């Protein structure tokens, strides 16, 4: 298929593009390179530099790509930043997303796979989180993604655009070529690995008084290649659907740090800090629905191999993509 990938120069987008190309699809990457990196774009893909907030440019790029489907990764995705700058999140994720749906409608593209998030659930009543739980975001990032999910329903009912929303839990790890390099790094695993590389003196633990076994937040870390595989399967689904995507396992912040010490063989200094606003204590996915409907199952369950792939990439790219 010919696939138009927004945010294809970012962490998750770049690796999904690589896997799409490996599977024989044709890809056009659409990215404004604000968060993404030019050298994270697989050279086999076409590249259109542009912005979701420029509807004419977006529509022209989508038409030129001759796309049969869209994968939509381009978004702002930091919980903490969204708590201080909600406008950025609603503008880029909601208004930008609406321009994309409108462009799809204008160009007759009837299929979209959307990067959604477990942050749409807020603080869940129970874990693991399945698709029947209410979505009540506790930060503007999660709200912006939920609004887009809700818009998808109407673009299906009114315009026949079929969508699969994948609510990722914590994407982690790397492929052999592409990895995680954010200009401002707020994510746990890359920050711990920066300490292992000697680029930072210590890593902060945000909150040690959560109601979890060791007092630190528990997350469900899913390997980026498993996540990419779910996108591939989602392309083949005819009807619209929403799926939670994780391994079903929970790892605390302290357990991540210990695992990084094991994998890297290096001591990680920590700094205990107050809670970060907008963080729920425990987020663990039930991926039963995508397993039973699309046959998806994660190849990576344990945390060490996930961290090993990230560490291998960071050792080869100590300064990330270098731009
Ligand atoms: N975290 C931390 N120190 C850091 C970065 C993150 O303690 O330097 C915690 C954060 O509070 C959360 C978990 O690690 O509980 C995962 O955070 P991350 O930003 O990686 O992903 P999120 O769950 O926010 O998508």
- Report pLDDT digits (tens) over 142-169: 999 999 999 999 999 999 999 999 999 9
Verify whether ligand 1 is closer than 6 Å to residue 219 (CB atom). Answer: yes
- In CATH, which superfamily holds the domain spanning 172-219+249-285+299-316? UDP-galactose 4-epimerase, domain 1 (3.90.25.10)
Verify whether ligand 1 is closer than 6 Å to residue 205 (CB atom). Answer: yes
**Six token digits for residue 288:** 């039963």
Say what the pLDDT of residue 278 is: 81
Q: Whose CA is nearest to atom 14 of ligand 1?
A: 188
- The SS3 call for residue 203 is strand
pLDDT exceeds 90 at position 23: yes
Which DSSP category does 77 fall into?
A: -
Per residue in 173-186, pLDDT (tens digit) is 999 999 999 999 99
Tally Cβ neighbours within 10 Å of residue 24.
7
Q: Is 3.40.50.12780 the CATH classification of the domain at 2-171+221-244?
A: no
Q: How far is the CA of 187 from the centre of ligand 1 (A)?
A: 5
Task: Reply yes or no on whether 141 is catalytic.
Answer: yes
Answer whether the bond into residue 128 is a cis peptide, omega within 30°: yes
Q: What rounded mean pLDDT belongs to the chain? A: 97
Domain ranges of the chain: 2-171+221-244, 172-219+249-285+299-316
Say what the pLDDT of residue 310 is: 98
Verify whether ligand 1 is closer than 6 Å to residue 195 (CB atom). Answer: no
C-alpha to C-alpha distance for 219 and 211, rounded to whole angstroms: 13
pLDDT exceeds 90 at position 293: yes
Verify whether ligand 1 is closer than 6 Å to residue 187 (CB atom). Answer: yes
Say what the pLDDT of residue 277 is: 85
Q: How far is the CA of 252 from the centre of ligand 1 (A)?
A: 10
Q: Write down the catalytic residue from 11, 89, 141, 221.
A: 141
pLDDT exceeds 90 at position 323: no
Mutate to test the pocket of ligand 1, among 187, 205, 227, 246 (most ligand atoms within 8 A of CB): 187
pLDDT exceeds 90 at position 122: yes
C-alpha to C-alpha distance for 223 and 237, rounded to whole angstroms: 22
For 252, how many CA atoms within 13 A lie in the half-sphere containing its CB? 17
C-alpha to C-alpha distance for 270 and 290, rounded to whole angstroms: 37
Per residue in 205-251, pLDDT (tens digit) is 999 999 999 999 999 999 999 999 999 999 999 999 999 999 999 99
Mutate to test the pocket of ligand 1, among 124, 171, 201, 219 (most ligand atoms within 8 A of CB): 219
């Amino acid at each position: 298929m010919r696939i138009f990938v927004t945010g294809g120069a970012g962490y998750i987008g770049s690796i999904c593009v690589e896997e799409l190309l490996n599977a024989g699809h044709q890809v056009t990457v659409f990215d404004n390179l604000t968060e993404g990196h030019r050298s994270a774009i697989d050279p086999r893909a076409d590249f259109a530099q542009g912005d979701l907030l420029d509807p004419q440019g977006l529509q022209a790029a989508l038409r030129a790509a001759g796309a049969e489907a869209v994968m939509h990764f381009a978004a702002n995705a930091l919980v903490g930043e969204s708590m201080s700058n909600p406008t950025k999140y609603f503008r880029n994720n909601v208004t930008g997303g609406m321009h994309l749906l409108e462009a799809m409608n204008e160009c007759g593209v009837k299929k979209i796979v959307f990067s959604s998030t477990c942050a749409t659930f807020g603080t869940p009543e129970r874990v693991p989180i399945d698709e029947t739980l209410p979505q009540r975001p506790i930060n503007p990032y999660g709200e912006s993604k939920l609004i887009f999910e809700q818009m998808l329903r109407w673009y299906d009912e009114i315009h026949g655009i079929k969508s699969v929303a994948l609510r990722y839990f914590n994407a982690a790890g790397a492929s052999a070529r592409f990895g995680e390099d954010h200009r401002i790094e707020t994510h746990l695993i890359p920050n711990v690995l920066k300490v292992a590389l000697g680029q930072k003196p210590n890593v902060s633990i945000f909150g040690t008084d959560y109601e979890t076994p060791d007092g630190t937040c528990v997350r469900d870390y899913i390997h980026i290649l498993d996540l990419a595989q779910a996108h591939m399967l989602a392309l083949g689904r005819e009807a619209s659907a929403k799926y939670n995507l994780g391994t079903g396992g929970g790892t605390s912040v302290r357990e991540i740090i210990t695992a990084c010490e094991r994998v890297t063989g290096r001591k990680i200094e920590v700094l205990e800090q107050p809670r970060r606003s907008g963080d729920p204590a425990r987020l663990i996915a039930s991926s039963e629905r995508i397993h039973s409907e699309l046959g998806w199952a994660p190849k990576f369950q344990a945390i060490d191999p996930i961290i090993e792939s990230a560490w291998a990439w960071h050792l080869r790219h100590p300064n990330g993509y270098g731009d």
